[in-house]
Amino acid sequence: MASHRKWSPTGTRIAGIRTPALATAALTSVALLSQTANAAPSADSKPSIEEVEKKVDDLYHQAEAATEKYNATREKTAQQRKRVDSLLDDVAQRTEKLNTARDELGSFAAAQYRTGASAPDTATLLLADNPQDYFDQTQLMSRLTSRQKVAVDDYITEQAATTKKRAEASQSLQTLTTTQSALRTSKADVQRKLAEARDLLSKLTADEKARLAAIEKKKQEAADRKAAELAQQQAAAEKKAQEAAAQQRTTTGTTATTGSSATDSSYTAKADKALAFARAQVGKPYVWGATGPGSYDCSGLTQAAWKTAGVDLPRTTWDQVNVGTTVPLSDIKPGDLVFFYDDISHVGLYVGNGMMIHAPKPGAYVREESIFYGGESIIHSVVRPA
What is the set of active-site residues? 298, 346, 358
CA distances to 27, 83, 131, 154, 163 from 160, rounded to whole Å, are 88, 20, 9, 10, 5
Q: How many whole angstroms separate alpha carbon 53 and alpha carbon 48?
A: 9
CA distances to 9, 45, 366 from 305, rounded to whole Å, are 90, 46, 12
Q: How many whole angstroms separate alpha carbon 287 and alpha carbon 364?
A: 9
The DSSP element (H or E) to which 381 belongs, if any, is strand 379-384
Q: Are the beta carbons of 293 and 276 closer than 8 angstroms?
A: no
Q: 63: Cβ–Cβ under 8 A, 6 or more apart, which residues?
A: 190, 193, 194, 197, 288, 361, 362
Q: 166: Cβ–Cβ under 8 A, 6 or more apart, which residues?
A: 91
Longest pairwise C-alpha distance within the chain: 142
Q: How many whole angstroms separate alpha carbon 110 and alpha carbon 120?
A: 10
Q: How many whole angstroms separate alpha carbon 63 and alpha carbon 288?
A: 9
DSSP conformation letters of 67-82: HHHHHHHHHHHHHHHH
Q: What single DSSP character describes residue 41?
A: P
Single-letter code of the amino acid located at 97: K
CB atoms within 10 A of CB 2: 4
DSSP conformation letters of 179-235: HHHHHHHHHHHHHHHHHHHHHHHHT--HHHHHHHHHHHHHHHHHHHHHHHHHHHHHH
For the purposes of burial, counting CB atoms within 10 Å of the CB of 355, is it exposed (0-12), middle (13-18) or buried (19 or more)? buried
Q: What single DSSP character describes residue 284?
A: P
Q: Are the beta carbons of 8 and 1 closer than 8 angstroms?
A: no
Residues for the chain: how many in total? Answer: 386
